Amino acid sequence: MPTRYGRSPWIDQFPKSRIPTYPAHRGPIKVDAAIVGGGLTGCVTAYAFAAAGIKVALFEAETLGRGTSGASTGWISEDPGASFVEVEKLLGVRKTRYAWEAWRRAALDFAAVIRRLELKCDLEPRASLLLATTPEQAARLSREQKARKSAGLDAVSVKGPAIVAEVGVSNSVGLRGREGATMNPYRATLGFAAAAAASSSRRRCQPRRCFGRSRGISGSRARTSRLPIPFRRRSGIDLASGQPLFGIPPRRRTWSGGSMMNDC
């Protein structure tokens, strides 16, 4: 796939005539949940709400999927990408093992939903190989493999000729991952938005353009750069952003069924 610096191949290769459009937000609407941010996280969340029979509206300032999601690698990782050894020092082996298992289940469930909805986003199961090329890295990776295996997790060490044959790197050791996947993140984003919007009449989803970027929560309004979105105190709002939401004080990052999520 040809690439250009600063451009997303996922977006560039998508036919412009097939880019979906949704109505602009005008006036008050009544929903049980509002989602601010039309990236992959926001669209998946909108689908989850709509599939559960919850009336939801999705707000996006620009075009769905053209922020962090459209520029991402499309890698569905089976683990958090952190050091099990370091997290275990902070949380203990039981909680750390639970976090790794929960992440693995979430990755498998996410891929299963994509298949069930028959989203055309080039989903493919992929193995991964975490490599260490220096003695210091090799020592850390060996401790990581032993800690994961001791905790009862799948942790397969790969050495020598096997690595050379697979990736052409010598003098290296690796840690095998076997349950990852790749996808086209832009197509997945549009697919989940369409799946949410196409839900039955009792499972309503309303994707909306809100003409502005998210600025945070103030009182009973979710504020963008150009307009506030009123909501009831018992409503839920999820902010799904690929960027840190510094405008929201820590005490307001969760409220009345709402949360803050990142697309990263």
pLDDT confidence of residue 122:
97
Instruction: For residue 1, give both structure tokens.
Output: 């796939």
What does residue 78 show for φ and ψ, rounded to 5 degrees?
A: -85, -5
pLDDT confidence of residue 214:
41
Higher model confidence: residue 261 or residue 107? 107
Query: Confidence class of residue 248 from pLDDT cuts 50, 70 and 90?
Result: low
Q: Are 141 and 175 in contact (CB under 8 A)?
A: yes
What's the CATH architecture for 9-72+185-262? 3-Layer(bba) Sandwich (3.50)
Q: Are 204 and 55 in contact (CB under 8 A)?
A: yes
Query: In which element (H, E) is residue 98 found?
Result: helix 93-117
CA 39 – CA 65 distance, rounded (Å): 4
Higher model confidence: residue 78 or residue 217? 78
pLDDT confidence of residue 208:
60
Amino acid identity, residue 3?
T
| Domain segments of the chain as ranges | 9-72+185-262, 75-182
- HSE of 261 in the Cβ direction (CA atoms, 13 Å)? 19
Other CB atoms within a 10 A radius of the CB of residue 110 amount to 16
pLDDT surpasses 70 at 222: no
pLDDT tens readout for residues 20-47:
988 888 888 888 999 999 999 999 999 9
Query: Confidence class of residue 160 from pLDDT cuts 50, 70 and 90?
Result: confident
Instruction: For residue 97, give both structure tokens.
Output: 């093992």
Residue of 204, 179, 10, 39 lying closest to 109 (CA atoms): 179
- 130-168 burial by CB neighbour count: b if 16+ within 10 A, else e? bebeeeeebeebeebbebbeebebebeebeeeebeeeee
Q: Are 42 and 58 in contact (CB under 8 A)?
A: yes
What is the pLDDT averaged over residues 118-122? 97
Q: Which stretches of the chain are assigned E, i.e. beta strand? A: 33-36, 56-60, 75-76, 124-132, 156-159, 173-182, 205-209, 214-218, 221-224, 228-230, 236-241, 259-262
pLDDT surpasses 50 at 255: no
Tokens 């832009």 belong to 186
CA 148 – CA 100 distance, rounded (Å): 9
